[in-house]
Each structure stands twice: as structure tokens, then as C-alpha cells.
Amino acid sequence: MTRIESRAVPEPVSGRPAPTLAVVLAGMLTLSMSMSGTNVALPDIGADLRASGAALQWVVTGYFLTASSFMLIAGSLGDLFGRRRVYRAGLGLFVAGLALSALAPGIWLLDAARAAAGLGAAGVMASGGALLAATFEGAARAKAFAAFGTVGGVGLAAGPTLSGLLVSGLGWRGTFWVFAIAGILIWAGARLVPEARPASEAKPRVDVTGAATFIAALALLMAAVTQGPQNGWGHPLVLAALVAGPALLGVFVVLQRRAAHPVLDLTLVLDRRYLAWTLAGLTGAIGFAGSLAYLPAYFQGVDGAGAGEAGLMMLLLTGPVLVAPMVSGRLVSRGHPARVVIGVALGLVAAGNAWLTVLRPGLGVVGLAGPLLAIGVGTGLANGIVDGQAMNQVAPARSGMAAGFLNTVRGGGQAMMIAAFGSALLNLVQARVGSTKLAGRVVYGDLRGGDAGFLAAQLTGAWQTVLWVIAAVTVVMLVLVTALLRGRHPVMGATGR
């Protein structure tokens, strides 16, 4: 993949913004709803397929693994072969993965189908952001990316609620079919989107070695985090993955420095402001993903809520993400410094996680409203400006690569956070109850097999410990992002500071 300077001449802006925006937002909505909604279905999936622990966790983490691993590659392929082409190919694979998920007779086939859906989601996410960057500029771009963040928030907010209702009415298999049909409609509508690709006389080339190294590195890291609690952190295969994953990432960096057509131009990562906004997206994901993934199971297992009721409870967390992105986008477009807005956003995420340690059985809506709203508002404010501000730091010719890397870091962080969150809960509960098998069921909302009150108390204690760690990590990341954004730096088409 040809190395392109960040200040290269921009490619032409698309003349059909309305259909492009509509299709990209519809894709973002469907992916977000499918992502967050699957968590609500996990107890039913586990009971139906007689699965628990790591095998059940891979229904979620497998999707995030392939999505995050391939976003960088998908973005770079969009720069070479066309963003619309990669977008539609991703949608096709996403739909196929959902259909196979609905038909899966066992947990491991379901895991594989979800991984395929995640692979397709990578193409949709990376190419969607690149299509917006190639279609809009100036204030219109800021508004488009604010809408992008808002729709993502709508999906996250509506996903657990809608999926809870769908699971209750149609079952988890029917729920996958509903999202597959939505994907088919968006795939058909994408024909109206103009192709967006930098003009180049050079024949497109793909850095296959670099791509394979990157994918293998993330896969090993994810496998280690997921399987560590199940097999033991001293297990030879887990230790090998923990060593080989970072080592392969180092190899990937070396390969990219030497490659004539790199998957990732390292000069992009060295831009401190682009890096700051990428880390801001990662920080928001770290502070949000664990609660999004595992709170529904807590409500169902500890408080006895049904899937629909658990989905409604999650609106406290996801509801603010419906409106906050437009608020932050408007603040920045009116001249408020983007670095101040992101500081407030990440501060709310950190404070919300610390506050959520009040979690206990039967706490109810009133006790949970404050911390969950704080996390949701902070995440929504960040979602409204991170993509637009990050893309403002690079030339449109590299927008696919930039969007791919941003989503790789954010999606990979989210995937690792979900895996690490589940692993930490499993380890802590296991230490308290003395059984790996029982701990695996408890974490996913099944408190049978022991004293329900005792098990609920142990799960709650584990939650509180993990939340304190997340709050501390978020504070450290906030300090780093603030330091990187300090001072002025010329950016391409930026609307914030």
C-alpha cells in the first residue's frame, strides 16, 4: 500500500452526500444494535445450547476480535480498491454471518458465525467513516460525524431494549434474522453511494505479510485474555499466546517500516494529535464496554429481571448516548475547544465507573441512575467528536487507513475490555466460590447450583473491584490524552481545537 504524505492533495468531494450519509448511518445503526443486543441474548443462548464460560463469551468476543483485527486492513483496502466496494462486501459478509448464527446448532458453530459477522462489520465500520471523510468537508463534515456518533449511540441504546423484546418474542435465532434482513436492505441501498477512491495510476498492492502478522497478533492476545481464566494463566498455551502476541506486534511494526506498501503508514501514528484522538476513542470504549456487555446478565441473574426488563434497565447507560454526540458536535462547531469537551467527557466516564461501585442486589433504578447516566453522557460526548477530530488530522487520501486504525484501536480496545472484564469477573468469582464451572455460570447470570444470595454477593464484590480498576485506568488515559492535545497544531479542515 503506497505511502502517502499526510498533506497530499485532497481527493474530490462526492457530489451525492444525502444517499451516502443515509447508507452509512443506517449501517452504523444496524451494527451498533446488533453488537449491544447480543449481550442480552447470552443467557438464553447459553441455556439453549448448554454453553457457559469461555465458549459462551466467544459469542461476543469472537465478533469483536475479527472486527477489530480487520478494520485496519479493511480501511487500507478501501483506499486502494474503493470504499463503497469494501463497504458492500463487508455488509454481505455481515449478513451471511448473522444468517449462519441463526441456524447454528451448537455453540462453536455459533462462535464461528459471529466471528464471520465481525469480519464483515470491519469493512462496514472502516469504509463508512472513510466515505463520510471523502464526501463532506468543513462544518458539514463535523455535522456528519456528529450524526455518525449519534446514530452509533442510538444503536447502543436501542440494541439491548429491542433485542430483549425480540428475544422474548422471537427467540435469539429470530433476533439474528431480523438484523440480517436489515443488513440486506442497506446492502441494496449502498448501490446509490458514489465510489470514493484516491486517483492513482499505480496498480493496487496489498501487504499480505503485514496484514497476516497484525491479525495473528491480535488473535493471540485475545485468545490469551479469554482463555486465561478458563485454563489457568500458567497453562503453556496461554503463556505462549501472551508472549507471541506482543512479539508479533513488534514484528508488525518492523515490517511496516520496511514495506513499500504498508498496511499502516507509521507516520500517521506519530502525529500526536491524531494519536490523542485515537486514544480518546479507546478510553471511552474502556470505560463503557464492560458494563454494556455484562450488566444485562447481572440484572437477569441477581435481580431476576427478564431479557426485556434488563434491556430497559440498560437505557440508563445507553440512553444518553442518543443525544450527547450532537451536543458535543454542536459545542465544537460553535467554537468551544474540542480538547476541553473531550476532557469533560472522559472525566465523566471515569467518575461514573467509580460511582457505579455502589452496585448491589436490588439497588434499583434510583440508585443506578447517577453512575450509569454519567458513563453514558461521557461516552456520548466523546463519540460525537472523536471520529471527526481524528480524521481532520489527515489528508483525505489516507482517510481509509486513518479510519481503519482508529476503529481498530477503539474496537480492539473494546474487544479486549469485554474479554478482560469477563475474565476478571470469572477469576474473582472463582476465587470466592471455589469452582470454575459455577463461576462461569454466575458471571453470565445463572445463579443456580448454590445459595443464590451468597452467589449474588460474590458477583457484586467482583464487580466493585473491577469497576475501581477501570476508573483508575480511565483517569490515567485522560491525563495522557490531555497532555497530547496541549498546545496548538495545524490540522486539515479542523473545526475544533
Helices 53-81 and 83-103, axial angle in degrees (round to 10): 160
What average pLDDT score do residues 279-284 get? 91
Per-residue pLDDT at 85 exceeds 60: yes
Give the range among 86-90, 246-250, 254-258, 261-265 with minimum mean pLDDT.
261-265
pLDDT tens string 125-158: 878 877 887 777 767 777 777 777 777 767 766 7
pLDDT band of 297, cuts 50, 70, 90: confident
CA–CA dist 213, 70 (Å, integer):
11
Cβ atoms of 396 and 11 within 8 Å: the answer is yes
The percentage of the chain sitting over the pLDDT mark of 70, rounded to a whole number, equals 88
Whole-Å CA distances, 95 to 173, 231, 369: 14, 33, 35
End-to-end Cα spacing for the chain: 31
pLDDT greater than 70 at residue 262: yes
Contact 143, 18 (CB under 8 A): no
Q: How confident is the model at residue 53 (pLDDT cuts 50, 70, 90)?
A: low
Domain at 17-195+261-485, CATH from 2.40.30.10, 1.10.10.10, 3.40.50.720, 1.20.1250.20: 1.20.1250.20
Contact 418, 26 (CB under 8 A): no
pLDDT digits (tens, 9 = 90+) for 351-407: 999 999 999 888 887 888 999 999 999 998 998 888 888 888 877 667 667 777 887
CB 415 within 8 A of CB 65: yes
**pLDDT reported for residue 157:** 65
pLDDT tens per residue across span 158-191? 777 777 778 778 888 888 898 899 889 999 888 8
What type of residue sits at position 125? Answer: M
**Dist CA 418 CA 470 (whole Å):** 12
Contact indicator for 262, 256 with CB cutoff of 8 Å: yes
d(Cα 353, Cα 375) in Å, to the nearest integer? 7
Phi and psi at residue 354, to the nearest 5°: -65, -40
Model confidence at 99, pLDDT cuts 50, 70, 90, reads: very high
Output the pLDDT for position 49: 86
The answer to pTM > 0.85 is no
Does residue 350 or residue 415 have the better pLDDT?
350
Q: What is the 3-state secondary structure (H, E, C) of the chain?
A: CCCCCCCCCCCCCCCCHHHHHHHHHHHHHHHHHHHHHHHHHHHHHHHHHCCCHHHHHHHHHHHHHHHHHHHHHHHHHHHHHCHHHHHHHHHHHHHHHHHHHHHCCCHHHHHHHHHHHHHHHHHHHHHHHHHHHHHCCCHHHHHHHHHHHHHHHHHHHHHHHHHHHHHHHHHHHHHHHHHHHHHHHHHHHHHHCCCCCCCCCCCCCCCHHHHHHHHHHHHHHHHHHHHHHHHCCCCHHHHHHHHHHHHHHHHHHHHHHHCCCCCCCHHHHHCHHHHHHHHHHHHHHHHHHHHHHHHHHHHHHHCCCCHHHHHHHCHHHHHHHHCHHHHHHHHHHCCCCHHHHHHHHHHHHHHHHHHHHHCCCCCHHHHHHHHHHHHHHHHHHHHHHHHHHHHCCCCHHHHHHHHHHHHHHHHHHHHHHHHHHHHHHHHHHHHHHCCHHHHHHHHCCCCCCCCHHHHHHHHHHHHHHHHHHHHHHHHHHHHHHHHHHCCCCCCCCCCCC
Confidence band (pLDDT; 50, 70, 90) for 494?
Answer: very low
Q: Where are the domains of the chain?
A: 17-195+261-485, 207-260
| Under 8 Å between Cβ of 62 and 189 | no
For the cut 80, the answer to whether the pLDDT of residue 88 exceeds it is: yes
* pLDDT at 25 > cutoff 90: no
Residue 3 has pLDDT above 60, yes or no: no
Three-point CA angle 95, 100, 101, nearest 5°? 95
When mean pLDDT is compared across 202-206, 267-271, 405-409, 470-474, the lowest value belongs to 202-206
Check residue 9 and give its pLDDT. 32
Alpha-carbon gap, residue 216 to 227, rounded angstroms: 16
Higher pLDDT, 304 or 93: 93
Q: What is the pLDDT of residue 491?
A: 42
Question: What confidence score (pLDDT) does residue 230 get?
Answer: 65
What integer pLDDT is reported at residue 12 of this predicted model? Answer: 40
Listed residue (192, 191, 206) closest to 78, CA to CA: 206
Residue 277 confidence class, pLDDT cut points 50, 70, 90 = very high
Q: Mind listing the pLDDT tens digit for each residue in 425-484?
A: 888 888 888 877 788 788 877 787 678 888 888 889 999 999 999 999 999 999 999 999
Is pLDDT above 90 for 350?
Answer: yes
Pick 409 or 248 by higher pLDDT.
Answer: 248
